[in-house]
Amino acid sequence: MPETAASAPGPAAQTPLIELRQVRKTYGLGTPVATEVLHGIDLQVAQGEFVALIGPSGSGKSTLLNIIGLLEPMTRGEYLLLGQPVERLGDAELTRRRGDTLGFVFQFHHLLPAFTALENVLMPELIRKGRIDEADRRRGMALLAKVGLAAAAEKRPTQLSGGMQQRVAIARALSHGCPLVLADEPTGNLDTRSADEVFALMRQMNRDEGTAFLIVTHDPRLAARCDRIIELVDGRIAPAGTLTGPMAA
Amino acid sequence: MRVSPGFAVTVALRFLREGRMQTLLIVVGVAAGVAVVSYISALIQGLQGNTIRRTLGTQAHLVVQPPEQRSLPSLPLADGAIALRELQARAQRPRTIDNWRAVEQALAAAPGVRAVTALASGSMLAVRGEASRSVTLAGIDLDSYERIVSLRATLVQGVARVAPGEALVGTTLASDLGIALGDRFVVRSGGEAAETFRIAGLLDLGNRELNRRSVFVGRGAAQSLLAIPGGVTQVWATVDDPFAAQGIAERASRRLGLQVESWMETNAQLLSALNAQGVSTSLIRSFTALVVMLGIASVLVVSVVHKRKEIGILRAMGATRAQMTQVFLVQGALVGLVGSLLGVALAALLLWGFSTFVRGSDGLPLFVVTLGWDLALKVPLVATFAGIVAAVAPARSAARLDPAQAIRL
């Protein structure tokens, strides 16, 4: 397979965290309105990378992120997660891999309103183990402290500002030590200052914990501060060095 | 499948707590349904128990009757022959059971039979001066009779004793004849036989007709009045389980070659009334259970729709379909359990109110109603199970939610 701009080698010669080969996605397959939204995506993300995924609305960013996040099946192609193909896995196994490998941060800081900030952070662990022990609790508190929210541990999401909620979501995504966090417009709903804070936090976590990030963003300012930018145009990855739009400048 | 009760219970409890008003309403709904079912069940149980006790209090479970005397044609008919015949049923004399001591013993030895007594009874006239009344004379062996129908318990005056020359009579009969404890009266058969008895005790048998017609004397005295020396007209028995009486009667009848009637036959109407009552109670129970289950199901369906986003988030974080199913099944179970516990408590309160404030004309409770432990334990179990069943459809729809779509909302 030829090395494309989108598959630059990682920091070490390791198995890529994720590797997509000729991934296609068609909605409404078998109906007269079938539309292919991803036309053969080749993409790799190495361990510890900090990657921005940009592109105009409707270019297929969210679909691609959902496929990488094992939330949506692809129509054709290959997807290796930690070197393992996922095409043939059943829902339970996909769910297990999703829980073990991936953390999510969404645009509308999807926290669980019925649980406190700390409980939200500990939720992935509760799902995996069925209980929370003292060590989990301490680790959760340490994570909240790290995102600057130790004081808000017992608050409900509705009592927190948008930026704070997004920081809780980041802590949650990192709580079970997963190697990759997928962030869908994590700053899209925040004012500039909060957006900068949240972005800085993700960068710091990437440095401190070695967690890889794949961040979908509209904000060229933020994209420019990532290790690598992948641009999606009309369901295809634009070749490196040919960035269009605001990034071209 | 990953089973994590901790996760399911934790999230279910939090979801229920979050849906405050809805949870409160459905729990109260379940409690009301359970209270109605428990209350009615206990009431009907008490009523039936009471009816059966009253009915069986004055009669035996099994009665062995002497064979009926029938007129039989004396000539066998050839095949195809037609005979015109006029038969007259003969007047029935006091019929006796041959070898009744053997019958008594055989019946006493039958499985499930608790007590046996033989009695000589028939219709007589009780006479005192100008007044006479038609009565049923029962010649009994007091000790064995007592084990089947307690006369001591119905005694209102005097002593329960049927020594020679003594009789126990119903209260109404005594007042009809204008006699009191210690007075004498004459019992006369249709023929010439007559004997004088002194009233040893007055009985209230709990039924006006019985009080008006009953005279109990020693078996020997009755035998001589009925002109059946040494004979008895019926053998009575009680069994351990009143509702097994019919089966025992049929078996005994085959073995003894005699007609054995159970109380269930002689009280067929009562029994079918009890059955009808039982069926109505079951209907009320089933429909209430159905309504309660529909209530739980509809609340959970709404909850699934409300919580689409949360379900999507949980799924994205690694919760399996099975785990999401469990979350909603546990919610159904919890609503059923908590609602039914409240409901049983409410029913106990209602029943306490019933037995405290609703009283008969004598100032005593109408009948004993209690919420049995078996019912109090069974109801929450059944309700919890019903809650789980009601939650199946919502839980499945929660598990089927596409996480990618749910999150996008």
Q: No. of H helices and E strands in chain A?
A: 7, 10
B73 pLDDT band, cuts 50/70/90, is low
Residue A69 to residue A73: CA distance in whole angstroms = 10
pLDDT at B394 over 70: yes
Q: Does B20 touch chain A (CB under 8 A)?
A: no
The Cα–Cα gap between A216 and A67 comes to: 13
The span from the CA of A197 to the CA of A148, in Å, is 11
Residue B1 has a pLDDT of 42
Question: How distant is the alpha carbon of residue A174 from its chain centre?
Answer: 11
B183 touches A at CB < 8 Å: no
**Lowest-pLDDT range of B112-126, B139-153, B352-366:** B352-366
Residue B364 pLDDT class (50, 70, 90 cuts): low
Answer yes or no: is pLDDT of B5 > 60.
no
Choice among A45-54, B119-128, B267-276, B319-328 with the minimum mean pLDDT:
B267-276
The closest CB to that of B318, out of A114, A128, A130, belongs to A128
Report the pLDDT value the prediction gives residue B337, as an integer from 0 to 100. Answer: 93
- CB–CB of B314 and A69 under 8 A? no
Instruction: Give B69's pLDDT tier (boundaries 50, 70, 90).
Output: low
Please give the average per-residue pLDDT across B77-94, as a whole number.
70
For residue A6, pLDDT beyond 50: no
* d(C-alpha B239, C-alpha B113), whole Å: 4
Q: Which residue of B has its CA nearest to A174?
A: B317
Does the structure show a pLDDT above 70 at A248?
no
Q: Model confidence over A154-204: pLDDT tens digits?
A: 999 999 888 889 889 888 988 888 899 998 888 887 888 888 888 888 998
Give the mean model confidence (pLDDT) for residues B218-247: 89
Q: Judge whether residue A88 has pLDDT over 70.
A: yes
Q: How far is CA A5 from CA A45, A231, A241, B345, in A?
A: 11, 10, 9, 71
Q: How far apart are CA A70 and CA A65, in angstroms?
A: 9
Chain-chain contact of B404 with A124 (C-beta, under 8 angstroms): no
* Pairwise CA distance, residues A233 & B120, whole Å: 110
Task: Report the percent of chain B where pLDDT is more than 90.
Answer: 33
Which of A126, A133, A156, A170 to substitute to test the interface with B, most B CBs within 10 Å? A126
Note the pTM of the prediction, 2 decimals: 0.73
Band of residue B186 on the pLDDT scale cut at 50, 70, 90: very high
Among chain A residues, the shortest Cα distance to B5 is held by: A130
Cβ–Cβ < 8 Å for B247, B105: no
Among candidates A62, A99, A114 on the partner chain, residue whose Cβ is nearest the Cβ of B317: A99
Alpha-carbon span A115 to B317, nearest angstrom: 15
CA atoms within 13 A on the CB side of A99: 25
pLDDT tier at A8 (50, 70, 90 boundaries)?
Answer: very low
**Distance of residue A24 Cα from the nearest chain B Cα, in angstroms:** 17
Check residue B2 and give its pLDDT: 43
At residue B342 the predicted structure's pLDDT band, cuts being 50, 70 and 90, is: very high
Q: Which of A106, A112, A216 to mutate to test the interface with B (most CBs of B within 10 A)?
A: A112
The pairing of strands B184-188 and B113-128 is antiparallel
Using the Cβ of B318 and the Cβ atoms of chain A, whether some distance falls under 8 Å is answered with yes
Angle separating helix axes B321-357 and B268-306, nearest 10 degrees: 140
Q: What is the pLDDT of residues A194-241, one digit of tens each?
A: 888 888 889 988 998 889 999 998 888 888 889 999 998 888 888 765
d(CA B272, CA B280): 12
Residue A22, phi then psi, degrees to nearest 5: 50, 50
The tokens describing B300, both together, are 């959970």
B316 close to A69: Cβ distance less than 8 angstroms: yes
What per-residue confidence (pLDDT) applies to A9?
45
Residues of chain A with pLDDT > 70, as a percent, come to 90
Average pLDDT over residues B158-184: 92
C-alpha dist (Å) from residue B109 to B105, B115, B238, B256, B262: 6, 10, 12, 12, 17
Which amino acid is present at B229? Answer: P
Interface predicted TM-score of the whole assembly (ipTM), two decimals: 0.83
| Tokens of residue B187, six digits | 């019992």
Helices (H), B20-99: 20-57
Residues of B in contact with A168 (CB under 8 A): none
Q: Taking CB atoms and an 8 Å cut-off, how many pairs form between chains A and B? A: 80
Mean pLDDT of chain B: 86
Give the pLDDT mean for B268-273: 86
Which residues 6+ apart lie within 8 Å of A33 measured at CB? none
pLDDT of residue B91: 63
pLDDT of residue A4: 42
Amino acid at B67: P
From A170's Cα to the closest Cα of chain B, the distance in A is 13
CA distance B234 to B117: 9
- The β-bridge partners of B118 are B235
Identify the bridge partners of residue B115 per DSSP, sorted by sequence position.
Answer: B238
Q: Which residue in chain B has the smallest CA separation from A115?
A: B14
Average pLDDT taken over every residue of chain A: 84
Kindly compute the dihedral angle of the four CA atoms of residues A210, A216, A218, A222, in this order, to the nearest 10 degrees: 0
Contact: B7, A114; criterion CB under 8 Å: no
